[in-house]
Amino acid sequence: MIPVTIFAGRNVAVLGLGLSGLAACRALAAGGANVFAWDDKAKGRDAAAAEGFAVTDLASADWSRFVALVLAPGIPLTHPEPHWSVAKARQAGVEVIGDIELFFRERARQAAPGKVVVITGTNGKSTTTALTAHLLAASRKRVALGGNIGKAVLDLEPFAADLTYVIELSSFQIDLSPSLKPDAAALLNITPDHLDRHGTLEDYARIKSRVFAKLGQGATAVIGIDDEPSRAIADALSGRFAVKRIAVGRAVETGVWAKDGVLHEMEGGAELARIDLAGIGSLRGAHNWQNAAVAYALARSQGLSAAAIAQGLKSFAGLSHRMEQVARRGKVLFVNDSKATNADAAGKALASFTDIYWIIGGRPKEGGLAGLEPFFPKIARAYLIGEAADAFALQLGGAVAHTHCGTLDQAVAAATADASRSGAKEPVVLLSPACASYDQFANFEKRGEAFRDVVMGLDGAESVKGRAA
């Protein structure tokens, strides 16, 4: 835990008592603050009370007593309208911040604060964050991984000169962190997302760009330029920091670009290093080439050699439920991509394989499978489950052979039988549902775990440990 001393002896309100909120309570209390905790849900209040915090109904509290409101990132700050607590805080002149802001303010007080690398973007940030941390750790650097992935940032190890924090940031977290000042920052991409919370794509992009706002001399900005909003941000970057551009399919002057699974590190138009990702199952597909290129640039900014990074890439196992290679049964590969809860995410997996036995369905999102039509020729057969089955059957029509299976275990059985008869070199049974899980599972993790359990129960299935698709 990182004790937060900046509010020692003063009263701080904490609203939202999930992982990050409870971590903020603990860190503030350890630093001497008087914590007043509240959650709109009884579950959060009960969790805080169980840890001994003063659970206080902030709706009826005297806000003149507080110096700050620490708001959980999932609670609306501006759109569709500010949460009632935000309105009360502003009316009382109380600043509204998040746990990431507490981290950076406390860090500014440290004599030996270590290094901080932050990663954001609409897509790929979790994989890139995990990969960056893996590369640093594989080179024997001491690493703390957290933020929007894994541990809450204030639950990480205390500041130390030899420690590098690798932190994933959502737009919600950035919006609550005016003191955000890392040593290296990466923005992978920007596509329309969370517009209900940010109003417009322009505002969403502006918030994402704040990861670069306070970079100083010796820092590094890493930015993907494959989408227009990110290119505009890259073009506007200026300061005493290095700028490394990332692209897939086209060369960059300075940065890293990828084509056909090969990374090219460039400086002033000259190639410094070339790394082939062939055979690294966890980094299949163009989207993962971008992830790898960003992680490469961040690792280089922290002093790693190209050779050390190349070795680290080979041992990256990937993340659970994100194109996770589960097992092989003969020549059939089983891949768990349960995290693909919409068509865009499923398209990343479909683009990465050829002879696909595709398990889809669940609670559908708006548009269903729209946009995936270019991948239909790669699909040998689709297996439909859950609430979306009938609607997806209509969208697939005669373009993709499909079977109504109803449940996940029945879909795995049918897909396995068909894939085993395939003449392809590596037929793939792919769970990439393009749907939420809530019709049959509590969340995408439970769905992915169920897939893994069913696959490992098949006769002849052999686990593929430490590798991902």
| 224 and 269 co-located in one domain | yes
| 305 and 328 co-located in one domain | no
- 215 lies in some domain: yes
CATH number at residue 452: 3.90.190.20
Q: What is the pLDDT of residue 467?
A: 44
- Are the CB atoms for 36 and 28 separated by under 8 Å? no
Q: What is the pLDDT of residue 79?
A: 86
Rounded Cα–Cα distance for residues 28 and 3 (Å): 6
Rounded Cα–Cα distance for residues 330 and 158 (Å): 48
| 263 and 299 co-located in one domain | yes
Q: Residue 245 — left, alpha, or beta (φ > 0 → left; ψ -120 to 50 → alpha)? A: beta
Whether the pLDDT of residue 175 is over 70: the answer is yes
| 127 and 81 co-located in one domain | no
Whether the pLDDT of residue 407 is over 80: the answer is yes
- 424 lies in some domain: yes
Whether the pLDDT of residue 393 is over 70: the answer is yes
Q: Could you identify the residue written with the tokens 């330029």?
A: 225
Express each pLDDT in 113-138 by its tens digit: 999 999 999 888 999 999 999 999 99
- 6 lies in some domain: no
Rounded Cα–Cα distance for residues 293 and 309 (Å): 11
Whether the pLDDT of residue 26 is over 80: the answer is yes
Alpha helices in 108-221 (DSSP H): 125-138, 171-175, 195-198, 201-208
Mean pLDDT calculated for residue range 42-53? 96
- 152, two tokens: 């809450």
Q: What is the pLDDT of residue 366?
A: 86
Overall pTM surpassing 0.85 (yes/no)? yes
Mean pLDDT calculated for residue range 198-212? 90
What letter would DSSP give residue 466?
T
Decide which of 249, 280, 314 is a domain's last residue.
Answer: 314
The gap from C-alpha 172 to its chain's centroid, in whole angstroms, comes to 13
Express each pLDDT in 240-261 by its tens digit: 999 999 999 999 999 999 999 9
- 233, two tokens: 């941000």
| 248 and 272 co-located in one domain | yes
Decide which of 263, 290, 314 is a domain's last residue.
Answer: 314
Q: What is the pLDDT of residue 461?
A: 96
Reported as a pLDDT band with limits 50, 70 and 90, residue 365 is: confident
| 89 and 116 co-located in one domain | no
Reported as a pLDDT band with limits 50, 70 and 90, residue 315 is: very high
Q: What is the pLDDT of residue 468?
A: 45
Rounded Cα–Cα distance for residues 227 and 208 (Å): 14
Rounded Cα–Cα distance for residues 346 and 353 (Å): 12
| 128 and 145 co-located in one domain | yes
Whether the pLDDT of residue 105 is over 70: the answer is yes
CATH number at residue 91: 3.40.50.720
Mean pLDDT across the chain: 95
Whether the pLDDT of residue 466 is over 50: the answer is no
| 285 and 239 co-located in one domain | yes
Rounded Cα–Cα distance for residues 289 and 256 (Å): 10
The strand ranges marked E within 268-375 are 270-276, 324-329, 332-336, 356-361, 363-364
- 71 lies in some domain: yes
Angle between helices 201-208 and 228-236 (to 10 degrees): 50
Rounded Cα–Cα distance for residues 389 and 434 (Å): 11
- 186, two tokens: 């990466």
CATH number at residue 214: 3.40.1190.10
365 vs 60 pLDDT, higher one: 60
| 256 and 341 co-located in one domain | no
| 411 and 329 co-located in one domain | yes
Decide which of 42, 63, 97 is a domain's last residue.
Answer: 97
Express each pLDDT in 9-22 by its tens digit: 999 999 999 999 99
Three-state DSSP class for residue 256: strand
Domain that holds residue 18: 11-97
Q: What is the pLDDT of residue 90?
A: 96
Q: What is the pLDDT of residue 451?
A: 98
| 353 and 308 co-located in one domain | no
Number of domains in the chain: 3
| 121 and 263 co-located in one domain | yes
- 198 lies in some domain: yes
- 178, two tokens: 């005016």
Whether the pLDDT of residue 344 is over 90: the answer is no
Question: CA torsion angle for 417, 423, 429, 433 (degrees, to 10)?
Answer: -110
* CA distance readout (Å), 183 to 226, 235, 398: 24, 20, 53
- 4 lies in some domain: no
- 468 lies in some domain: no
Reported as a pLDDT band with limits 50, 70 and 90, residue 194 is: low
- 295 lies in some domain: yes
For the chain, report the end-to-end CA distance as a whole number of angstroms. 34
Rounded Cα–Cα distance for residues 233 and 244 (Å): 12
281 vs 174 pLDDT, higher one: 174
